[in-house]
Amino acid sequence: MPAMLKVSRLACSRGERQLFADVSFSLAAGEWLHVQGENGAGKTSLLRLLVGLSPADAGEIYWRGVAASEADFHRDLLYLGHHAAVKDDLTPLENLCLSAALDGIHLHEEAALAALVRLGLRGREALPVRVLSAGQKRRVLLARLLTRPAALWVLDEAFNALDSGAVQLLGALVGEHLARGGLAVLTSHQPLPLPAGKRLML
């Protein structure tokens, strides 16, 4: 199968310290990559580099055969980082609808509501996010996986701060995404409830 995402000889340093060099991998449709490594090994840096938030010292990233900086990469990309990236003063429903609007996507309220229900937030959709727990806040963010269509999911420590039910649920979501021919790059310290994927040790 042809590789959709191809990364070659990526290098990154923070200050004077070299975090990693010569990182290469490729992913085809339906494949996922598990980025592993100790704290401070540069997992988050690799992911930020991959999505184009920070520039690499060296190396190239190709998306569908075109350099990612040239390609319409962001349309196909969904990145969820450490941050909650939700507004405390808005309700989960408003958060979902507004972030979709910023992305230029029209999201029906029923679809947003269905996503929140799937994430176990039934009855919480009209409360301000401020009153939700950390895990519930995380679920609001994860609901974007259902409302924002994207071929490549890049999830940084998405399994943290989730209870076991939510871990299973997220595993199922990623599984469905892969089955549809999507790609995923994940970091996590814990074993994931997912079919076997590629592994990258930093």
Positions that interact with other proteins (CB under 8 A): 15-16, 51-55, 72, 74-75, 77, 79, 81-90, 94, 98-99, 101-104, 128
Minimum CB distance to other proteins, residue 44 (Å): 12
Minimum CB distance to other proteins, residue 75 (Å): 4
Q: What contacts 24+ positions apart, CB below 8 Å, involve 135-138?
A: 135/161, 135/162, 135/163, 135/166, 137/84, 137/86, 138/84, 138/162, 138/166
Between CA 48 and CA 20 the distance in angstroms is 13
- Which residue shows structure tokens 């969820």? 80
10 Å CB burial of residue 46 (0-12, 13-18, 19+) is buried
Between residues 109 and 165, which has the closer beta carbon with respect to other proteins?
Answer: 109
Between residues 2 and 83, which has the closer beta carbon with respect to other proteins?
Answer: 83
Calculate ∠ Cα 35-45-81, nearest 5°.
80
Minimum CB distance to other proteins, residue 12 (Å): 11
Between residues 86 and 200, which has the closer beta carbon with respect to other proteins?
Answer: 86
Minimum CB distance to other proteins, residue 20 (Å): 17
Between residues 28 and 90, which has the closer beta carbon with respect to other proteins?
Answer: 90
